């Protein structure tokens, strides 16, 4: 029998539920699918839905971090832009059809596309870490590193030891690791060992515990960036975390297949700006001296490129806009690899339109995904993509974690961003967009290697899906904005 206390509790929760639903409806700029998904979740699972919305319903940063991020950008962008001006790419350095994508990246970064760059594609994940270690060993002034996942495995500890040696010989080493993705390392003795050696350390977006979790940064809003900058002369950009490809925290999906490029030239300073902005926002340390020295004259044989970042403080859907601009610019061929394909409506429409206008559009995804929900949602889009002419390949050589895009054998996008809702709307990401046929050729060969270890998905195979599987996958798409 219900007592008056029970009735009061039920009425109180109903009021809380109504307030949260109204909040979900009133947030400006939210994608309609996201509104619908949250309202549906709040109605179907009210208790879990309310708690989930309070924790992860909005891309929430603490007021302190948001203000410090804005202040860091205000102080750093102007001197970085001034330093890059001498290397600004001339108009004719970028093919006409890709200029819109570059202009979009310029608006996001506040910096111009710069010319005179060179890049080298690492042969594999272990070679990429070895190159990072060698660069740290050769550093004379500064080493700046930011990783989302940093494990205390063979590769992870190689970098730890190299940083300790560099700090002991007087190099200023600043290290940032995500508070969730690298939490095991941050809490370990290896973190303390680096601090004792003189490495300056910062856990990015640390996880608030207890009741204050509702008041801190959104718990799953992460710094997903992978940035290494050495002496303002060399930088690394790609999908590679600081870990072994065996990825021992999820060994049944191994090996993790990644891509990492090293860059020299003025674009290094633009990647430096991304690290410096994050570091200054988290620690308050003034990073403007990094941009005081003038750039060396750009290599006349180098290519144009721009490094840019996106995140919850960027315009809504900024990362999707970059993908869409490149998809819209391609005339002959578009090849994309991404581990997590959960596009919003505009991005999905752009992929479909790219194939429909006759561009050879290929999408390479992992056959086995470490996120069962993401894998199922990706497959729910297969019928629409195949009907439009998109060719879909599922990679069987481990978990394909490389985020690569090559358009017409000329334009290349590499970095940390996936074609999913988290990269589009939530996480802090970093990418480099460039135009260089040599780099594009190297990366296309790497993509061809992925294709050699992949199975093409044909329309006939989709017809054999069971009704229950189709129902499951299509139902999950309704909740994709929550993932």
| CA 434 and chain centroid, separation | 17
Catalytic residue among 231, 313, 360, 442: 231
Q: Check 178, 258, 278, 408 and give the catalytic one.
A: 408
Q: Which two tokens stand for residue 76?
A: 């750093």
Annotation says 316 is catalytic = no
Tokens representing residue 481 in the block: 């904005």
Comparing CA positions, the residue from 76, 109, 60, 415 lying closest to residue 279 is 76
For residues 377 and 477, the answer to whether their CB atoms sit within 8 Å is: yes
Question: In this structure, what token pair is assigned to residue 226?
Answer: 């992978």
Mark whether 396 is an active-site residue: no
Residue 370 a catalytic site member: no
CA distance 220 to 95: 38
| 403 belongs to the catalytic site | yes
Rounded distance between C-alpha atoms, residue 191 and residue 422, angstroms: 28
User: In the 3-class helix/strand/coil scheme, how is 91-130 assigned residue by residue?
Assistant: HHHCCHHHHHHHHHHHHHHCCCCEEEEEEEECCCHHHHHH
The DSSP H or E segment spanning 392 is strand 391-395
Task: Please give the structure tokens belonging to residue 430.
Answer: 């970093």
- Residue 264 burial (CB count, 10 A): 16
Cα separation of 220 and 436, whole Å? Answer: 36
Q: Which of 158, 321, 403, 425 is catalytic?
A: 403
Q: Is 234 left (phi over 0), alpha (psi -120 to 50) or beta?
A: beta
Q: Tokens at residue 336, please? A: 């994309």
Between helices 46-56 and 32-44, what is the axis angle to 10°? 140
Quick count: other Cβ atoms within 10 Å of Cβ 233? Answer: 17
Helix (H, G, I), strand (E, B) or coil at 426: coil
**CA 128/CA 262 separation, integer angstroms:** 9
Q: Which parts of 151-301 fold into alpha helices (H)? A: 154-168, 183-186, 189-197, 267-283
Q: Exactly one of 224, 258, 321, 425 is catalytic; which is it?
A: 224
How far apart are the C-alpha atoms of 275 and 146, rounded to whole Å? 7
Choose, from 158, 278, 401, 420, the residue flagged as catalytic: 401
C-alpha closest to that of 330 among 357, 306, 348: 357
Catalytic residue among 158, 190, 226, 344: 226
Pair 221, 422: CB distance under 8 Å: no
The CA-based angle 57-58-61, given to 5 degrees, is 130
Catalytic residues: 224, 226, 231, 401, 403, 408
């Amino acid at each position: 029998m219900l007592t008056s206390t029970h009735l009061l509790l039920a009425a109180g929760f109903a009021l809380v539920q109504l307030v949260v639903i109204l909040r979900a409806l009133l947030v400006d700029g939210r994608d309609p699918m996201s509104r619908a998904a949250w309202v549906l979740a709040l109605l179907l699972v009210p208790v879990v839905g309310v708690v989930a919305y309070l924790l992860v319903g909005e891309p929430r940063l603490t007021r302190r971090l948001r203000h410090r991020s804005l202040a860091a950008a205000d102080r750093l962008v102007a001197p970085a832009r001034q330093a890059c001006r001498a290397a600004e790419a001339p108009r004719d350095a970028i093919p006409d059809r890709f200029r819109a994508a570059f202009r979009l990246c310029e608006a996001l970064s506040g910096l111009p596309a710069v010319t005179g760059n060179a890049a080298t594609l690492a042969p594999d994940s272990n070679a990429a870490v070895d190159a990072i270690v060698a660069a740290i060993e050769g550093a004379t002034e500064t080493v700046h590193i930011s990783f989302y996942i940093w494990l205390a495995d063979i590769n992870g500890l190689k970098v730890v030891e190299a940083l300790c040696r560099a700090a002991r010989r007087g190099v200023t080493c600043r290290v940032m690791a995500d508070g969730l993705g690298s939490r095991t390392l941050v809490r370990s003795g290896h973190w303390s060992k680096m601090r004792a050696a003189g490495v300056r350390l910062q856990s990015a977006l640390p996880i608030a515990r207890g009741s204050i979790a509702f008041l801190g940064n959104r718990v799953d809003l992460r710094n997903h960036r992978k940035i290494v900058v050495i002496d303002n002369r060399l930088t690394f950009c790609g999908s590679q975390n600081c870990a072994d490809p065996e990825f021992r925290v999820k060994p049944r999906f191994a090996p993790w297949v990644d891509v990492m490029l090293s860059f020299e030239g003025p674009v290094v300073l633009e990647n430096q700006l991304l690290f410096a902005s994050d570091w200054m926002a988290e620690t308050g340390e003034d990073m403007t001296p990094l941009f005081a020295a003038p750039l060396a004259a750009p290599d006349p044989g180098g290519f144009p490129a721009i490094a840019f970042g996106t995140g919850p403080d960027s315009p809504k859907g900024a990362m999707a806009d970059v993908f869409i601009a490149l998809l819209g610019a391609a005339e002959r061929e578009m090849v994309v690899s991404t581990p997590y394909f959960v596009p919003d409506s505009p991005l999905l429409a752009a992929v479909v339109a790219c194939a429909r206008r006759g561009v050879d559009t290929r999408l390479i995804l992992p056959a086995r995904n470490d996120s069962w929900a993401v894998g199922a949602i990706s497959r729910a889009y297969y019928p629409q993509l195949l009907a439009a002419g998109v060719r879909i390949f599922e990679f069987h050589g481990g978990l394909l974690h490389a985020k690569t895009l090559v358009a017409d054998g000329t334009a290349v996008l590499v970095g940390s961003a996936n074609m999913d809702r988290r990269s589009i709307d939530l996480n802090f990401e970093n990418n480099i967009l460039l135009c260089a046929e040599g780099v594009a050729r190297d990366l296309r060969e790497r993509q061809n290697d992925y294709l050699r270890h992949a199975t093409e998905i044909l329309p006939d195979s989709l017809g054999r899906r069971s009704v229950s599987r189709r129902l499951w996958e299509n139902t999950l798409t309704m909740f994709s904005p929550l993932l």
